[in-house]
Structure 1
Amino acid sequence: MATETPLRSVGSAPLDDPGTGRPVPAPSDGPGTRLRRLIGVDEALLSWVPEERTRYTWYGALVLNTALLGALSMSLALGTFRSDLPLAAVLGAAAVWFWVVLAMDSWLVSSTHGTAVRKWSLTLRLFLSVLLGLFIAEPILFQIFDKEIRQEISVGNAQKVADYRGMLVACNPADGASTADRPGCGRHQLKVAGSPAELAAQIESNETRMTTLQAQVTRINEALDGKMATEQRECGPDRWIRRGGGWDVTITCERARKDSSSYRTTSKIDTYEKQLAGMRDKAQTLEAKRNRASDAYQPLLQKTIDDKTRERAAGLDSQGILTRAHALHTVAGSDGFALFITVVLHLLLVSLDALPVLAKFMSGATMYDRVLGARFDASRRLYTEELQVEQACVRMEHDVRRHRVEQDTAERKRRTEHAHQRAQAERAARERTELEERMERIMRARRV
């Protein structure tokens, strides 16, 4: 690429401008031309300073290398973070990213040509190049430290799983006791049916309900016994009366019987006694379950803890970009040499991408920039003069149009005045003719 076609071959006659007879530089043609075209170099203008061709050829090569590095970075990133994508999709995305980086760097470099570029403008372009370099550098760093990152992620995930299992074991004791009051156990309690603590709570609740219901039944039975005693006392043989030729109970006895029967129905004593019997049976069943729960609950609890641990392990990410970034940060923070290598590689990759603008920033204006600046100045002057000529032509054309309009206006005024005078003369002639005709009629009338 450094070998280019010279301004003119040795021993050959110079090319002459047919209009002026002055020598015209021969245009360059070669593989470096395509590289220089990437950064917007004008080959016809560069022919006047052929010494700059090598510089701008490698300048274009730097831009092309940055785009290739960006495509490689994108393919590595997609291949690592989205391993489910087909190869065609990865290559397509890498090609698109290659074009984006190439277009951006080509614009950044081509916009620096010329001597009028200011340092602050170059600084902004350098800042954009650094941002682009940081984006390109990360996937490559992930591949360089891939083994360490995978190991750190594996160790970190194993520690997370172990901590999670430890919290499950600590927050779910073998006896099933509640640990809701312990710090950190609110999200780690498991619902396992048949725990001894749960059964004990059910037995205690059942006993409390039995005690309450038993007191209620006792109270109802005491009231019912009092009513039955009243019925027996009022309905005894000593209280019978004669009625209809025989013996019969009194109205008070009938009221007592009705009151006791009504109270048995409204108090629901039979329902409560059935419920109390059912609670006693449930208490025996729960007691039997609690005796067997100590042997059956622990295997169920262990199986639930194992299932939750496997779910936790399966849910941990090991390929995400944030996970790998955190792992890289941990690796760099845990070892000074790893941190040094990370910083150096970051700077190297960022410098590779920012090198085109950085080279322009350090080298300053070249001879090509001066020639291009001179052409800019000449074009600006020519354009200014062209505008002045156009303005003068337009002004003269306007004067001609104004003079034509003035002449036309004057001619129209003359025609209008002539037409007006002729109309007045014709009107006067008609009036004289009309007067003469009247005078003639008057004279004839007098003679007659």
Structure 2
Amino acid sequence: MSLTDQRTIVPDDLSSLDSPPFRPAAPDGGAGRRLRAVIGISEDILDWVPEERPRYARLGAIVINTASLAALSLGVALGRTLGVPLPVLVPVGLLWGYVILSFDSWLVASTHGVLGRSRLKVFAGRILISVLMGTVIAEPLVLWAFSSDIRQEVLDGRDQDLAAYESSLKKCNPISGEIVRSPECADLLISDVPGSPAALRNQQVEDRKVRDRLEPLVAERRRVLHEKETFAEQECNGASNASGTLSGIPGEGEKCRTAWQTRNQYLDSSKLPEYEKNLAQLNEKINNAPTKIQEAETAYNTALTGAIKTRRDQKGKHYGHIGFLEETDALARLADRSHAVLAGEWLLRILLVLVDCLPTLTKLMSGRSKYDELVSRQSAEGQRLYERYLARRGRQAQAADEVGLQRIEHDFRIASERITGADRAARADREAELDLEIEELAARLRNADSVAA
């Protein structure tokens, strides 16, 4: 118990204590006393100004209301964002409410008896702390007030995000099967879909290149073969020419057989039948390629659409429960689109912050009370008495030290005198022993002289 709780201020004039209004008043044992205990009111001092009991009882009720609001705020936050079950939610909310109650109680109790210029300095820091705590407590309640609109905004935002993700997948994975190598598609490529039509298109391009190279070759060799066949027929029919290359003799003569043999040798060496077969196959393959490519595109498009849908569904599963940050972002988007939402959001937030700051603000706005004056006087008196107590203890300790020092000096003096007497007795004994030794030595010398004589 503090010094303030232990002492009661007694006025200088005691003649008025036995006449109305009686001072100190009878102790209050009702519910108001328990409310005032929350904010650290000393009932012994308040009994001298009982008219201020209702003020401080209501201030205690405001502190309890603020703590209850904090408990509700945390309950709303945990219930909405984390889906915490009720059996866990209630004790956690009560614990948080108790923490806020303790802190607000300290904020108010620490201002009792603060007077003069220091009053504003003391309240400034406490109001700042109250504003910070109020902002934290108010945010879940603001989100709760706009919960239906926020939830719809979150769901719409998720749908838009999924739609944009699906669009990016389609852009980076076209049904043509071509690989898009842009940096934004690095993490969006789908490589596990078989039957890409891009390979058929590439093959079609290569086939056309081969055909374009083969067609002139076949045409040239057909022309040469046709010339040799014509020459052989003319030779066998007996035709002649001015250059003399034809003999002009009809029938299957030597030149006729030689001409057909030359034609046949060219046909074998030129591989014209093989080239014509390859060209026919190429033309058939090229002509059938559009149909195969279309069929491949249809099958690939079906498989690719399924793969994109699977990717989209996997991303959708990662969203899970709507979190606190998602709700905050959704409310910000709503406020950006609507001035009414922006105004309502900030009005509600400011109101809740002010409610959370009410304990400190109420004490500040109530001004200087008689109870504060009595607490200040008792605190000053307690400090003065304590200083007197410390001074008395200091003087007692100094006196005790002086007595102890005198006792030590007395004991030292007695001990010194005892030591001095003992030294004198020892010196006398040593001198007597020395005299005795000298006499014995002199006697021995005399005996020695007499013997020698």
Whether the TM-score (by the shorter chain) exceeds 0.5 is yes
In the TM superposition, 1:404-443 aligns within 5 A as 404-431=407-434
In structure 2, C-alpha distance between the alignment counterparts of 1:439 and 1:307, rounded to whole Å: 134
In structure 1, C-alpha distance between the alignment counterparts of 2:313 and 2:138, rounded to whole Å: 35
Q: Match of 1:115, SS?
A: coil
Shift of 1:349: 0.7
User: 1:389-433, CA deviations, whole angstroms, 9 ceiling, x for partnerless residues?
Assistant: 111111111111111122222222222222223333444445556
User: 1:296-324, CA deviations, whole angstroms, 9 ceiling, x for partnerless residues?
Assistant: 22322333333333334333456111110
- Residue 142 of structure 2 contacts residue 348 of structure 2 at CA under 8 Å; is this kept in 1? yes
| Cα distance, 1:297–1:50 mapped onto 2, change above 3 Å | same
Shift of 1:144: 0.8
- Residue 70 of structure 1 contacts residue 101 of structure 1 at CA under 8 Å; is this kept in 2? yes
User: 1:119-138, CA deviations, whole angstroms, 9 ceiling, x for partnerless residues?
Assistant: 23321211111111111111
Tell me if 1:97 matches 2:96: yes
Which amino acid in 1 is paired with 2:53? R
Q: Match of 1:365, SS?
A: coil
| Cα distance, 1:25–1:446 mapped onto 2, change above 3 Å | farther
In structure 1, C-alpha distance between the alignment counterparts of 2:365 and 2:37, rounded to whole Å: 22
Shift of 1:164: 2.9
In structure 2, C-alpha distance between the alignment counterparts of 1:416 and 1:306, rounded to whole Å: 111
In the TM superposition, 1:243-282 aligns within 5 A as none
In the TM superposition, 1:210-229 aligns within 5 A as none
Which amino acid in 1 is paired with 2:396? C
Shift of 1:442: 8.3
In the TM superposition, 1:322-401 aligns within 5 A as 322-401=325-404
Which amino acid in 1 is paired with 2:323? G
In structure 2, C-alpha distance between the alignment counterparts of 1:392 and 1:164, rounded to whole Å: 85
Q: Match of 1:421, SS?
A: helix
In structure 1, C-alpha distance between the alignment counterparts of 2:432 and 2:185, rounded to whole Å: 128
- Residue 79 of structure 2 contacts residue 85 of structure 2 at CA under 8 Å; is this kept in 1? no
| Cα distance, 1:188–1:427 mapped onto 2, change above 3 Å | closer
Q: Match of 1:360, SS?
A: helix
Using the TM superposition, name which of 346-355 and 162-171 deviates more.
Answer: 162-171
Counterpart residue number, 2:80: 80
Shift of 1:187: 4.6
TM-score (norm 1): 0.70
Segments of 5+ residues of structure 1 without an aligned counterpart are 1-13, 17-21, 212-276
- Residue 27 of structure 2 contacts residue 43 of structure 2 at CA under 8 Å; is this kept in 1? yes
In structure 1, C-alpha distance between the alignment counterparts of 2:38 and 2:190, rounded to whole Å: 65
| Cα distance, 1:424–1:148 mapped onto 2, change above 3 Å | same
In structure 2, C-alpha distance between the alignment counterparts of 1:79 and 1:163, rounded to whole Å: 31
- Residue 82 of structure 2 contacts residue 321 of structure 2 at CA under 8 Å; is this kept in 1? no
Considering Cα pairs closer than 8 Å and 6+ residues apart, tell me whether 1 or 2 has the greater RCO: 2
Counterpart residue number, 1:124: 125
Q: Match of 1:194, SS?
A: coil
In structure 2, C-alpha distance between the alignment counterparts of 1:362 and 1:171, rounded to whole Å: 65
Shift of 1:443: 8.6
- Residue 318 of structure 1 contacts residue 324 of structure 1 at CA under 8 Å; is this kept in 2? no
Equivalent residue pairs, number: 361
In structure 2, C-alpha distance between the alignment counterparts of 1:378 and 1:76, rounded to whole Å: 48
Which amino acid in 1 is paired with 2:427? Q
Segments of 5+ residues of structure 2 without an aligned counterpart are 1-15, 213-277
Counterpart residue number, 2:262: none
Shift of 1:331: 1.6
In structure 2, C-alpha distance between the alignment counterparts of 1:64 and 1:429, rounded to whole Å: 98
- Residue 76 of structure 2 contacts residue 140 of structure 2 at CA under 8 Å; is this kept in 1? yes
Using the TM superposition, name which of 406-415 and 57-66 deviates more.
Answer: 406-415
In structure 2, C-alpha distance between the alignment counterparts of 1:177 and 1:445, rounded to whole Å: 145
In structure 2, C-alpha distance between the alignment counterparts of 1:206 and 1:30, rounded to whole Å: 103
Counterpart residue number, 2:143: 142
User: 1:90-135, CA deviations, whole angstroms, 9 ceiling, x for partnerless residues?
Assistant: 1222122112111211122222222255423321211111111111
Q: Match of 2:357, SS?
A: helix
Identity of aligned residues (%): 35
In structure 2, C-alpha distance between the alignment counterparts of 1:95 and 1:195, rounded to whole Å: 62
In the TM superposition, 1:202-241 aligns within 5 A as none
